[in-house]
Structure 1
Amino acid sequence: MSSIKITPFIFLLSFTFLQTTFAVNPLYHFCLSTSGNFTLNTPYDTNLNTLLTLLQRKTSPSGFSLASTGQNPSQVYGLALCRGDVNSTDCTTCVYDARTEIRKRCPYNKGGIIWYDNCFLKYIDQNFFGQIDNKNEFQLSNVANISNAPSLFNQKVKGLLSQLANESASARKLYAAGEMKLDTFTNLYGLAQCTRDLSSKNCKICLDEAINKLPTCCDGSQGGRTVGGSCNVRYEIYPFINS
């Protein structure tokens, strides 16, 4: 990771890691809370452990799950989402890694969110289902730039991702992936995905906002993504989607 610049709610990161690196280490995480921390062996701790186990078990069949456990004031809400092209085995593995790692990184916070290439997981002590989360967000940019006609390339990136945003918002799983031919030797690949607690309308709003933020980090970059708590978009000039 070569540089980090922090702006309100947005983390801009450059990366040169191989995709296999992300299989071990998360892309990013935030520790969250709306009402302070908790202590071990309390009702909230028990409810959180139950929730994380439940999310791991429920996510792999369809690639998404959301649940809540306990009663106020110790109730906890959470969801887990796997990337739309990830198989059930890899989904299960990713959610297991996510639930394990977030407890290490946010041991006493009442909320946490963690992202991997294949999945992400979020929990907090407040009902967030159906709401667009654009506060917990970061961006990744490929350090290699397009050398020929970057402005035209940016237009094509926005065109492809906007098309995928439309497809994702109307899809049953709120996920779409596709590609566009740039020239004889180069294709542009992209994806757009929302958490399935969002309505089709809110999914489209979330994705459009994510696409509009890409120039902040990725103007002329060969690859980039905006990753948030409710949706994410990504593009590359190499195939990264599982067939």
Structure 2
Amino acid sequence: MSSSNLVSSLYLVAFAFLLHTAFGADPLFHFCSNPENFTANGPYEANLNKLISSLYVQTPPTGFGMSNVGDKPDQTYGLALCRGDVETSDCKTCVADASSEIRKRCPYNKAAIVWYDYCLFKYSDEDFFGQIDNKNKFYMLNVRSVSDPEAFNQKTKELLSKLAKDAHATPKLYAVGEMDLSESEKLYGLTQCTRDLSSTDCKKCLDGIIGELPSCCDGKEGGRVVGGSCNFRYEIYPFVNA
């Protein structure tokens, strides 16, 4: 991607953030990530429909599901992940919305991914389980800047690095925490990985995207790097459910 296209994409992402804040129902972002299409009403679509049904049932109780359906060359692989603080009912709703919306946006693509605030939904004709996905990724940022970017950036990296260590050591590969910025202000953070990753690869994935802080969110009051295998978010206000 050229630098001009990247900048345009980041502005679009920031605009998408404002739309999402206003309306709340749309996906954060999506990619139709495979140029190869499948035939309508063919065996791949039949397997994909079975996969979606399986993930809809499998994901909400634990917040994560993964499955594969069919045989080559029409085998399909997929996973769904809900944010670690999301209730089962909200997880179920999000997975249903995500699986429906991605089929509308990528109707015949053999691979696609969509993110909402509460969940991620991903499928492919290739086995991606246990592999760090660095291809599907986007940034979101708060357009407001802090008064002391250097100090704020350092504290943000410190908090997120701690949360990366915490997340990789938990079964859910998820962690949240906070840090005092002053007597009256706090910084809040979240890190999470998809649970097909090993603990080691979760830490590697999170360390990688935390390293993108300068290009993502330099001196901004809030931001996210969101990928197909892991994500982080930080804000100066609480954003997870108690």
Q: Aligning the two structures, in what range does the TM-score lie when normalised by the shorter sequence?
A: over 0.9
Distance 1:97 1:23 in 2: 12
Matched residue of 1:38: which SS? coil
Matched residue of 2:47: which SS? helix
Higher strand share: 1
Matched residue of 1:240: which SS? coil
Distance 2:86 2:18 in 1: 20
Change (3 A) 1:14 1:39: same
Alignment of 1:72-91 (within 5 A): 72-91=72-91
Partner of 1:236: 235
Which letter does structure 2 place at the counterpart of 1:225?
R
Alignment of 1:26-41 (within 5 A): 26-33=27-34, 36-41=36-41
Partner of 1:152: 151
Partner of 2:208: 209
Distance 1:17 1:94 in 2: 20
Alignment of 1:10-159 (within 5 A): 11-12=9-10, 13-15=13-15, 17=18, 21=22, 23-33=24-34, 36-147=36-147, 149-159=148-158
User: How big is each residue's C-alpha offset from its partner over 1:85-123, in whole Å with a ceiling of 9 and x where there is no partner?
Assistant: 001011000000000000000001001100000001000
Contact 1:22 1:116 in 2 (8 A): no
Which letter does structure 1 place at the counterpart of 2:175?
A
Which letter does structure 2 place at the counterpart of 1:187?
K
Distance 1:109 1:56 in 2: 20
Contact 2:81 2:120 in 1 (8 A): yes
Give the unaligned 5+ runs of structure 2: none
Distance 1:197 1:22 in 2: 32
User: How big is each residue's C-alpha offset from its partner over 1:5-52, in whole Å with a ceiling of 9 and x where there is no partner?
Assistant: 6439x9533245276546410000000227x11111100010001101
Deviation of the 1:57 alpha carbon: 0.8
Matched residue of 1:123: which SS? strand
User: How big is each residue's C-alpha offset from its partner over 1:46-98, in whole Å with a ceiling of 9 and x where there is no partner?
Assistant: 00011011111110000000000011110000000000000101100000000
Query: Given the two structures, how large is their TM-score scaled by the length of structure 2?
Result: 0.94
Matched residue of 1:238: which SS? coil
Change (3 A) 1:5 1:96: farther
Distance 2:191 2:20 in 1: 18
Matched residue of 1:61: which SS? coil
Contact 1:37 1:109 in 2 (8 A): yes
Give the unaligned 5+ runs of structure 1: none
Deviation of the 1:185 alpha carbon: 1.4
Distance 2:130 2:22 in 1: 32
Contact 1:22 1:117 in 2 (8 A): no
Distance 2:59 2:18 in 1: 27
Query: Given the two structures, how large is their TM-score scaled by the length of structure 1?
Result: 0.93
Deviation of the 1:196 alpha carbon: 0.4
Q: What is the RMSD of the two structures over their aligned residues, measured on CA atoms? A: 1.8
User: How big is each residue's C-alpha offset from its partner over 1:170-213, in whole Å with a ceiling of 9 and x where there is no partner?
Assistant: 11100000001111211100000000000111000100011111
Matched residue of 2:61: which SS? helix
Distance 1:114 1:86 in 2: 17
Distance 1:22 1:228 in 2: 23
Higher helix share: 2
Contact 2:20 2:26 in 1 (8 A): no
Distance 2:92 2:160 in 1: 28
Task: Report the identity percentage.
Answer: 57
Number of residues paired by the alignment? 237
Distance 1:19 1:184 in 2: 31
Contact 2:20 2:28 in 1 (8 A): no
Distance 2:108 2:21 in 1: 30
Which letter does structure 2 place at the counterpart of 1:73?
P
